[in-house]
Chains A and B, each alone.
Chain A
Amino acid sequence: MDFLTGIFVTPFAEMIDMPDLFFQALWDGFVSGTLYGLIALGFVLIFKASGVFNFAQPILVVLAALALISFYKMGIPAWISVICVLIMFYGLAWLIERLILRKLVNTDGNILFMSTVALSFIIIGAAQWIFGGRPSSMIHKELGFPTGSLEWPMFGGGVYFELLDISAAVVAVLLIIALGLFFSRTKIGRGLRAVADDPQAALSVGISLNQIWVIVWFVAGVVALVTGIFWGARSDVSFALQIIGFKALPVLIIGGFTSVPGAIVGGLMIGLGEKIFEIYWGPLLGSGVEGWFAYFIALGFLLFKPQGLFGDKIIERV
């Protein structure tokens, strides 16, 4: 009986009793949501353009963060290091296209997926070899992002806003806008869209698939870098980060594999949802439910709306 009240009464009561806490939760959820969204965005970009479900995306995030830090440690100024990372990612994208994608062109999705899994193994191995396994802290200060927090008194209590989180949100928004422009305004961007819809058409427009892949992977790298910086700033940078990469999967299921806005919305839903659930229902189940909450949401979608919120419908034919 009181288990049921535990589920249906107490949480809401608490929400109303302590609205500040509730808002705090919302805000935290919102921030992690944006970051989930960003990672998912990386997936979506590549999936849209090359039909590859890039399992290595989370690893790219880690790689970006680690690389940035170690460049800086070499004594390269922070922002230059960022440039270096970008260059590195371009090279990486080029290599991947040359050594993997080109060889696997028009093989079926599963194989491409597996190849990215393999790729992630390679990257992990290499990154650990080069940057070592120990977690290290992000250089956001050096990059000039504000730290500290401002408290916003409300309902007698107060809600804390980490400045970093705010800037993260802002940057995320900017990034999304930028991508939006990139896709709609630039020739390459339109090319990418064309590829997603119909490769032949894209080719006839005169863009080589290979270039497009390189670019897409590079863009995904950029997104990874941004994600890496902010996530790294919230918690130390280590390969534990890749676990959050798995959160992107449910996000994709909810948002649809091919939709940019879907990724963002899905990200927020998961972010908010799991935070709230953790705080108000978690205790009943002995906390730590963040680990799987997202997946059960996703599962729900899978069973009742497989194509996700914004995805295109899948129809099978005899």
Chain B
Amino acid sequence: MYFRETGQFKSKYKEELAAFPIFEDKIGIAIAAIIAFILIPIFGLPGLSYEFTLSAVMIPVVIFTITTLGLNILLGFAGQISLGTAAFMGVGAYSCYKIMTIFPDLNALICVVLSGVVTAFVGTIFGLPSLRIKGFYLMVATLAAQFFLEWAFIRIPWLYNYNISGAIEVPYKEMFGIVLTGAKSEPLTRYFICLVFLVVLTWLASNVIRGRIGRSWMMIRDMDIAAELIGVRPLTAKLSAFAFSSFYIGISGALMVFFWLGAAEVESFDINHSFTYLFMVIIGGLGSITGSYFGAILVWVIPVILKEYGKSVFGIDAFIMENFTTILLGVVMLTILIVEPHGLARIWQIAKQKLRLWPFPY
């Protein structure tokens, strides 16, 4: 009904290959952008304090969307399961911290990107087993990564500059006189930085997955044997997926610590977080960029808002709310798995298809 595709014909392959060939989609994206870049920064979210909106809802959501994108590239597009996500975020965070201490006057944003690169490297190493094993087995291998890294974050004090606390504190950084990180930085600044990262990374991801390399990932995912016989080298395909995915996860990890939490200990990177990110991907929809957004938003925002309202509106004790949301998360996950294993993205897709055919059923 919303779609009016008559007359939208393509006379060049370039147009055909564009990210949003349908005009109405372009509009949709524009609206989303306006909300994220203008409306929310100005008005915040209804019923929530402006401060809370930014630092408890929007910033984390944006960061976790990057994480989800990363994991989705690996799990959804390349079909390689990983339970080490949180730990890889840790790698991002700690390496960013180290980079900042080693090169004190390096621009914060560059540090973030570099930490992504480091993580990509680490991710590739831990991706090696994927050349021999699949499924659960691979999952266990990635668990090894998870626990080893957790251990490393505690036992290698060099990583946190031998702080007694064992935590990493974010140093003060600025750019063009704007405070980027540290206690004095404005939430809005940090929000915009994260948002820009998200937009750029989304754009890059969508490019890669529509191109040769993305295709090689999906080939491996859908039918690895056929892929090989068409000339895809599993080594390159799988490892590049691990690297690219880890790059995203690393960046999100760095952002999480330096532009959201402000300080972090190993708890922020433990196995349970890995599962939360996994949920984001699955609820959002495997192999879908839009899905990554849905997943992160649903899994993060709903509980936060519930807790907030629970406290402020109904005065429910936070502990109960905590448990309630945990249960809720589990239930949502189950329902998704039972009703539509391809997640919200698929539901969205179906709805869109219906709209495109409206008023006809087919």
Q: Which residues of B have CB within 8 Å of A119?
A: 330, 334
Do B140 and A302 touch (CB < 8 A)?
A: yes
- For the complex, give the distance between the alpha carbons of A299 and B131 in Å: 13
Q: Which of A302-318 contact B (CB under 8 A)?
A: 302-303, 306, 316, 318
Q: Which residues of B have CB within 8 Å of A147?
A: none
Q: Which of A250-292 contact B (CB under 8 A)?
A: 250, 252-253, 257, 285-289, 291-292
Do B140 and A250 touch (CB < 8 A)?
A: yes
Q: Which residues of B have CB within 8 Å of A86?
A: none
With an 8 A cutoff between CB atoms, is A22 at the interface?
no
Q: Which of A81-138 contact B (CB under 8 A)?
A: 99-100, 103-104, 107, 109-111, 113-115, 117-126, 128-129, 133
Residue of A nearest to B327 (CB): A125
Q: Which residues of A have CB within 8 Å of B326?
A: 121-122, 124-125, 128
Do A302 and B137 touch (CB < 8 A)?
A: yes
Do B337 and A121 touch (CB < 8 A)?
A: no
Known: A125-B326, A257-B136. A299 touches B141 (CB 8 A): yes
Q: Which residues of B have CB within 8 Å of A110?
A: 81, 135
Contact bitstring B150-182, A, C-beta under 8 A = 1, else 0: 110011100000000000000000000000000
Do B333 and A104 touch (CB < 8 A)?
A: no
B287 to chain A, nearest CB (A): 13
Do B333 and A118 touch (CB < 8 A)?
A: yes
Known: A286-B155, A288-B155. A122 touches B331 (CB 8 A): yes
Pull 20 A–B residue pairs with CB atoms less than 8 Å apart, ordered by A.
A109-B136, A114-B278, A115-B333, A119-B334, A120-B330, A121-B329, A121-B333, A122-B334, A125-B324, A125-B325, A128-B326, A129-B327, A252-B140, A286-B155, A291-B150, A295-B143, A299-B141, A302-B129, A302-B133, A302-B141
How many B residues, CB 8 Å from partner? 41
Known: A109-B135, A246-B271. A299 touches B338 (CB 8 A): no
Q: Which of B339-362 contact A (CB under 8 A)?
A: 341
Q: Which residues of B have CB within 8 Å of A103?
A: 338
Do B337 and A115 touch (CB < 8 A)?
A: yes
Majority SS at the chain A contact face: helix
Do B333 and A114 touch (CB < 8 A)?
A: yes
- For the complex, give the distance between the alpha carbons of A72 and B328 in Å: 29
Q: Which residues of A have CB within 8 Å of B129?
A: 299, 302-303
- For the complex, give the distance between the alpha carbons of A137 and B279 in Å: 33
With an 8 A cutoff between CB atoms, is A298 at the interface?
yes
Q: Which residues of B have CB within 8 Å of A128?
A: 319, 322-323, 326
- For the complex, give the distance between the alpha carbons of A117 and B283 in Å: 13
Do B136 and A292 touch (CB < 8 A)?
A: no
With an 8 A cutoff between CB atoms, is A53 at the interface?
yes
- For the complex, give the distance between the alpha carbons of A318 and B325 in Å: 45
Q: Which of A48-104 contact B (CB under 8 A)?
A: 53, 99-100, 103-104
Do A53 and B144 touch (CB < 8 A)?
A: no
Do B338 and A113 touch (CB < 8 A)?
A: no
Do B147 and A246 touch (CB < 8 A)?
A: yes
Do A253 and B137 touch (CB < 8 A)?
A: yes
Known: A109-B136, A110-B81, A129-B320. A117 touches B278 (CB 8 A): yes
Contact bitstring B291-330, A, C-beta under 8 A = 1, else 0: 0000000000000000000000000000110111111111
With an 8 A cutoff between CB atoms, is A3 at the interface?
no
With an 8 A cutoff between CB atoms, is A45 at the interface?
no
Known: A122-B331, A133-B319. A295 touches B147 (CB 8 A): yes
Partner of A126, one of B143, B225, B327: B327
Partner of B323, one of A107, A129, A303, A318: A129
